[in-house]
């Protein structure tokens, strides 16, 4: 099997979300970790190079899949099972800084056992969205010629499935988590120390997302930081973390290889895609986003952190 150099396989949830926002309630919004990550990555890859693997129920219309395909996402790995699609209901605080899960209905996701279609097993890059760590390992094993694997996880698996999570960590190159998850996983509050601890357990690189406070990358070349893009209007943070990870992996796959410099550039694409995600309810902004808008935001990001290169001269 010859590896496909610039292809990205994404596995995770595909969902309908009910979102209680300070400004109103939104029902049956398209969601899920794989959905957000694929929409973000597909902006950076040629049509068909972003491959989504997940499960939906009878209530998931063909037209939603067609919309994903129209964005260049290959959907032959989306299984249709009899029953209802995974549903998540969340309520955000008035300042959008925190959210509470009101209800999670696994539905067809409960028996999900991801099967990577034969034609996608030569994918070079793999993003394991937030699913049971055992299933994440199963997916990795199906992608024989993988070059670079990244994974996300959540508090539920960190506390509930430590053995499977430890196994998952041993087979990924990059872990992408938020600060709370990094602290919970390592048992260490200081993020620099937490990162060192987690990197000893498998992933050579670690990204810690900090929402509006940006994101940190830790790898063998040191520590790198990208801010969150300062936005006047944040509408809905749902999926920002998945869009960040999808943007990061999409950029890496577009380059066909990973180096410390490429990883650092990828952090900006990740942050830019995360920033677009929060500008609308659900993934609508990502679904309408064009490459020139993305490019303009990357430019704005570069200006945001460009201090001109001056260092303090020794007197």
Binding site for ligand AMP (CB under 6 A): 13, 15, 17, 31-33, 88, 104, 130, 238-242
- Output 130 or 136, the one with its CB closest to ligand AMP: 130
CB of 246 to ligand AMP, least distance (A): 10
- Output 203 or 239, the one with its CB closest to ligand AMP: 239
CB of 276 to ligand AMP, least distance (A): 14
Measure Cα distances from 238 to 28, 76, 96 in Å: 13, 25, 10
Residues shown for the chain: 315
Q: Sheet containing 24-31: which strands, arranged edge to edge? A: 24-31, 15-21, 86-92, 99-105
Contact 150, 124 (CB under 8 A): no
- Taking residue 160's Cβ as centre, other Cβ atoms within 10 Å add up to 12
CB of 131 to ligand AMP, least distance (A): 6
Compute the distance between CA of residue 231 and CA of residue 87 in angstroms, rounded to an integer. Answer: 29
Q: What residue is closest to ligand AMP based on CB?
A: 31
For the four alpha carbons of 304, 308, 314 and 315, in that order, the dihedral sign comes to negative
CB of 270 to ligand AMP, least distance (A): 12
**Dihedral Cα 238, 242, 245, 246, nearest 10 deg:** -110
CB of 158 to ligand AMP, least distance (A): 12
CB of 19 to ligand AMP, least distance (A): 9
Compute the distance between CA of residue 124 and CA of residue 199 in angstroms, rounded to an integer. Answer: 22
Token pair of 85 as six digits = 């699609």
Compute the distance between CA of residue 109 and CA of residue 60 in angstroms, rounded to an integer. Answer: 13
CB of 13 to ligand AMP, least distance (A): 3
- Output 56 or 255, the one with its CB closest to ligand AMP: 56
- Output 256 or 279, the one with its CB closest to ligand AMP: 279
Compute the distance between CA of residue 260 and CA of residue 236 in angstroms, rounded to an integer. Answer: 32
CB of 130 to ligand AMP, least distance (A): 5
- Output 26 or 121, the one with its CB closest to ligand AMP: 26
- Output 281 or 298, the one with its CB closest to ligand AMP: 281
Which alpha helices (DSSP H) does the chain contain, by range?
33-42, 62-70, 133-142, 155-160, 162-170, 179-186, 191-199, 240-255, 260-277, 284-288, 291-305
- Output 35 or 124, the one with its CB closest to ligand AMP: 35
- Output 248 or 255, the one with its CB closest to ligand AMP: 248
Query: How far, in whole angstroms, is CA 315 from its chain's centroid?
Result: 47
């Amino acid at each position: 099997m010859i590896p496909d150099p610039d292809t990205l396989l994404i596995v995770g949830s595909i969902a309908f979300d009910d979102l209680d926002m300070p400004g109103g309630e939104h029902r049956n919004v398209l969601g899920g970790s794989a959905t957000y990550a694929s929409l973000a990555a597909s902006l950076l890859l040629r049509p068909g190079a972003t491959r989504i693997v997940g499960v939906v129920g009878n209530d998931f219309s063909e037209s939603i899949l067609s919309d994903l395909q129209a964005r260049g996402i290959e959907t032959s790995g989306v299984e249709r099972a009899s029953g209802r699609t995974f549903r998540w209901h969340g309520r955000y605080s008035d300042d959008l800084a925190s959210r509470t899960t009101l209800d999670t209905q696994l539905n067809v996701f409960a028996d999900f056992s991801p099967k990577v279609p034969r034609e996608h097993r030569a994918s070079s890059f793999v993003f394991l969205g937030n699913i049971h760590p055992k299933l994440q390992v199963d997916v990795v094993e199906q992608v024989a010629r993988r070059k670079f694997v990244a994974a996300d996880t959540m508090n539920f698996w960190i506390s509930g499935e430590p053995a499977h999570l430890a196994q998952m960590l041993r087979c990924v190159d990059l872990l992408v988590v938020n600060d709370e998850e990094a602290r919970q996983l390592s048992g260490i509050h200081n993020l620099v120390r937490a990162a060192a601890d987690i990197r000893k357990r498998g992933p050579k690189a670690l990204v810690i997302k900090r929402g509006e406070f940006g994101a940190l990358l830790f790898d063998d070349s040191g520590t790198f930081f990208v801010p969150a893009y300062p936005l006047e209007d944040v509408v809905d943070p749902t999926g920002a973390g998945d869009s960040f990870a999808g943007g990061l992996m999409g950029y890496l796959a577009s380059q066909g290889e990973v180096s410390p410099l490429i990883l650092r550039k990828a952090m900006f694409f990740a942050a830019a895609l995360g920033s677009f995600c929060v500008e609308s309810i659900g993934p609508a902004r990502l679904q309408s986003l064009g490459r020139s808008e993305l490019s303009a935001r990357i430019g704005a990001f570069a200006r945001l952190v460009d201090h001109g290169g001056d260092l303090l001269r020794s007197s």
